[in-house]
Amino acid sequence: MQKTIKVIDGLQKEGVIKEYAIAGGVAAIFYVEPILTYDLDIFFIPPKEEKIITLSPIYKWLKQNGYEAHKEHIIIEGVPVQFIPVYNELVKAAVIDAAKISYKDAKTKVIKAEYLLAIMLQTFRPKDKERIVKLLDEAKLNMTRLLKILKKHDLDEKFKRFKDLYYGK
């Protein structure tokens, strides 16, 4: 996966994307025990703020470098990668404030656990609910940071209801 990370980092170095961070299941794996996922989700901030965000520059750059699209993914060094532009203020803040990590000899960034939980609380699919419980049980969460993020993005009440439901009042 370090080759995949280096290619994605190259997209940022060459200005095709402004910022990026690992998100989704792989980001969750950074904080909790391994869970099944098949793709590497990358949240990114485009170089220019435009109303309509297109993935064309990313696909073009990757194609020039020998990587092919397969449905909604691009296979980069054996890993299906999905590029997702930041779609709201919470996701944008999560990318800007992402944690710098290393994977073998590759440097990259991963969405912080507190932001990850907030994003999952916002998307709230069944698998998000499952992952929220895992984050609460297994990740070392900074509760001050988490509550600040939840309050800022109007998710504090939803979090309270979730905790009451799963952990009791």
Partner 1 sequence: MANKEIDRLFKAKISFHNELAKMSFEKKIEILVQLQRMANGIQAFSTKQKKRRQKIWEI
- Is residue 58 a contact partner of residue 17, using CB atoms and an 8 Å limit? yes
Short-list 98, 114, 122, 124, CA closest to 149: 114
When asked if residue 168 is in the footprint of partner 1 (CB under 8 A), the reply is: no
When asked if residue 68 is in the footprint of partner 1 (CB under 8 A), the reply is: no
C-alpha span between 101 and 85 (Å, rounded) = 21
When asked if residue 120 is in the footprint of partner 1 (CB under 8 A), the reply is: no
Binding mask 20-59 for partner 1 (x = CB under 8 A): ------x--xxxxxxxxxx---------------------
Give the one residue of 14, 72, 89, 137 binding partner 1; rule: CB under 8 A: 137
Quote the least distance from Cβ 3 to partner 1, whole Å: 8
Quote the least distance from Cβ 154 to partner 1, whole Å: 29
Give the one residue of 59, 61, 103, 124 binding partner 1; rule: CB under 8 A: 103
Short-list 8, 10, 34, CA closest to 21: 8
**In terms of CB distance, is 131 or 153 closer to partner 1?**
131
When asked if residue 83 is in the footprint of partner 1 (CB under 8 A), the reply is: no
When asked if residue 138 is in the footprint of partner 1 (CB under 8 A), the reply is: yes
Short-list 131, 134, 105, 104, CA closest to 41: 131
Quote the least distance from Cβ 80 to partner 1, whole Å: 5
- Using only the alpha carbons of the chain, give its radius of gyration: 16
Residue the block writes with tokens 């080759």? 3
User: Which class for 74: exposed (0-12), middle (13-18), buried (19 or more C-beta within 10 A)?
Assistant: buried
C-alpha span between 30 and 32 (Å, rounded) = 6
CA torsion angle 68 9 87 157 (round to 10): 130
When asked if residue 146 is in the footprint of partner 1 (CB under 8 A), the reply is: no
Residues near partner 1 (CB under 8 A) are 1, 3-4, 26, 29-38, 70, 75, 77-80, 101, 103-104, 137-139
